[in-house]
Structure 1
Amino acid sequence: MFYSLGKYILLLRLSFKKPEKFSVYWAEVMREMVSVGIGSLGIISIISVFIGAATTIQVAFQLNSPLVPLSIAGKIARDSTILEFSPTISALVLAGRVGSSIASQIGTMRVTEQIDALEIMGVNAPGYLISPKIIAGMTMVPILVTISILLGITGGYIACLASGDISPADYLMGVTDGFDGLTIKVALVKAVAFGFIIASVCAYQGFYTSGGALEVGQSATQGVVYSCVMILFADLVITRLML
């Protein structure tokens, strides 16, 4: 375990060494940002709208009491979406989509000896292959989480219009009532941490792949599983420290 942690830290140190040619690294960062951000926007949008709608309906069902104002449902749905559903569920989805792609891409380069060729040519392979992915993850995941929060709240509003369990006016009153900016800060800190975890853990699994196609698939699976576990652990730690 400590040996693997040491290799992980060493790989991160090598990844952020001074680049040989900044323009090449910058182009890779832009390409990875497009891949992570634009490529994941569709699935994040669909999931966010449906989760926001389902959360609002379930909260309305649980608070079906004449003693509880219906606007509370909007407040609970808002805070749940901002603090937990959008950052964590989006990160778990991205771990499956982006993380597996990172691990399989780097793993394939390892088993086909492309990484060895880069190192023979004097290129810092971890820096060229991994640091753009980490930077893109830490940059684009917060943007995707912000979009997810907005769409989740919009999904709750659509659910109010469609179901009639809560009037849209009551829902909007709850959404805007007692808003605390700290919840947004917590969500963004989680998003940055989750983006780093997804990119670095999956890149580590891919970089140290050995064997053939079967091992590449195993590395991708392990990368997704380990990053999901670490996302949940980081979620707990950040929530405890900031709230």
Structure 2
Amino acid sequence: MSLRIEPREMAEVLIKVRKMALAQEMSVKLGKSLIMSGDLYPADIAPVLAPNKYGNMAIFPMAWGFTYKATPKPLANCRVETADSKPLWRDSWYRRRCVIPASWYYEWGYPVYEDDCRSMIEHRNTKKVKFAIQTEGSDRTYIAGLYRYEEHSGMQTPMFSILTREAAGTVKDIHDRMPLILDKENVKEWIRPNGDPSTIVEKALSNMVFERAVDYPRFPPETITA
């Protein structure tokens, strides 16, 4: 999975978060770009909604993917079915929830054809293609996540992971999993530290639309050294 943030649609948010001292420090210490728009991948820095020290919703820069000693790759996704029980996720599930606002997300899935009479086995043996998927009727897709702080290069770095669920609605025709997508009205309630995440999960959206993705050029990330 990867994300797409259209710079024109989120210009105000991007300008604000790039100016933050935390973002500047993360960029230097982690050697990561602060572009935070276009196509984003695990390990990139992204603008994320989370509670500030007063418990109110605010925007922060966060790096995508928890670090786990068993793998060198960042853990970009977390299954919502086990988030409240697995030690890696449990504390964040109850205390540190966030939302990643994106224009859409990308997923590799099975192509769908009109009047498709193939068997399920034939369908699953088809070569996967890249899809752009977003909330129906909206130019903003609110993706639920968890976050925590990790020490990297001598700083406490905020890291997030995206919650996934069993695919629903039209998405299940192309893939068996999908992110946990929230209605705009439930974003504040989701990130509220003393809220009930299980209640919001039950309200997750399934009304998504998708089309074959257009591959935009991926420019090499800017490396900033101290």
Q: TM-score of the superposition, structure 2-length normalised? A: 0.26
Higher-strand-fraction structure? 2
Larger helix share, 1 or 2: 1
Larger RCO, structure (CA 8 Å, separation 6 or more): 1
TM-score, normalising length from structure 1?
0.24
